Chain A
Amino acid sequence: EVQLVQSGAEVKKPGESLKISCKGSGYSFTSYWIGWVRQMPGKGLEWMGIIYPGDSDTRYSPSFQGQVTISADKSISTAYLQWSSLKASDTAMYYCASEGIGVTPGAGAFDIWGQGTMVTVSS
C-alpha cells in the first residue's frame, strides 16, 4: 500500500526545537517531490516547501524560508520538517504529501498525503 505515515502530535513551549517526520512506503520514495503543507486552526492550506529525496534539492515558500528546515533521509524513506525555535504562531496541523506519477514535478499536485501532525506551541 502506498502511504505516508507522519509522527505523532507534539506539545511544545515557545523557544523549543522540534523535528517531525514523514515516512513513505509502497512506492519509490526517492523519485517524487515531497512537500509540507501547513493548516492553522480553522484556516486554509499553505504550501511551505518541497524536497526531492533523490538528491535533497529543496525549495521554500518565501513565507517559510528561514523559519523551518526541510530535509530527507532517503536511506529510510523519511522526510522531515524542523524548527529551531518554535513560536505560538507555529501552532497548526502539518501535512506531508508526495507528488505522483505523471504530474509536472514541483507544481503542487500532491496525490499521496500523510495523516497530519498537530503541533501545539503554548507556554
Chain B
Amino acid sequence: QSALTQPASVSGSPGQSITISCTGTSSDVGSYNLVSWYQQHPGKAPKLMIYEGSKRPSGVSNRFSGSKSGNTASLTISGLQAEDEADYYCCSYAGSSPYVVFGGGTKLTVL
C-alpha cells in the first residue's frame, strides 16, 4: 500500500483536460508544498514534470500544471495529446523519516 493515494487510471480524449489527484495526509502533502509529479512511459525512466507543487522544469510543456488543496495535490494536463499517454506518479516530502513518499501511480489513457 502506497503512502499517497492516486486513482489507478484516468482517461480522456485528445484536446480535453484531465486531472489526477494525489491524496496524502497532514504529515506529507498537507504540511509541505513539496509535491513532485513524474511521467513514465513504458520501459523508460521517469521524467520530472512538476516540482514544489506547481513549478515546471525547463522544457516541460505548459499544458502540465500542479496545484494543492489541503492534503490533496493535483496534476492537470490540458489539451491532451497522444504522447501524454503514460503512467504518472506523485511524490511528496514527508519530513525526517520517511523523507519522501510516492503514490501508487495513475495510468493515463488517451482515447
Given A44-B89, A45-B89, A45-B91, also A107-B100 (CB < 8 A): yes
B93 & A107 in contact (Cβ 8 Å cutoff): yes
Q: Does B12 contact A (CB under 8 A)?
A: no
The interface on chain B, measured as residues whose beta carbon lies within 8 A of the other chain's beta carbons, has a size of 28
Within the complex, the shortest CB–CB distance from B96 to chain A, in Å, comes to: 8
Q: Does B97 contact A (CB under 8 A)?
A: yes
| A46, B108: Cα distance in complex, Å | 20
Q: Does A62 contact B (CB under 8 A)?
A: yes
| A110, B40: Cα distance in complex, Å | 13
| A99, B104: Cα distance in complex, Å | 21
Q: Which residues on the B side are within 8 Å of A53 (C-beta)?
A: none
A100 & B57 in contact (Cβ 8 Å cutoff): yes
Within the complex, the shortest CB–CB distance from B85 to chain A, in Å, comes to: 17
Q: Which residues on the A side are within 8 Å of B100 (C-beta)?
A: 35, 47, 50, 61, 106-108
| A95, B100: Cα distance in complex, Å | 15
Counting chain B CB atoms within 10 Å of each CB, the highest count among A35, A45, A114 belongs to A45
Within the complex, the shortest CB–CB distance from A12 to chain B, in Å, comes to: 22
Within 8 A of A (CB), among B78-98: 87, 89, 91-93, 96-98
A103 & B52 in contact (Cβ 8 Å cutoff): yes
A108 & B36 in contact (Cβ 8 Å cutoff): yes
Q: Which of B's residues lie within 8 Å of A, judged by CB? A: 2, 32, 34, 36, 38, 40, 45-48, 51-52, 57, 87, 89, 91-93, 96-105
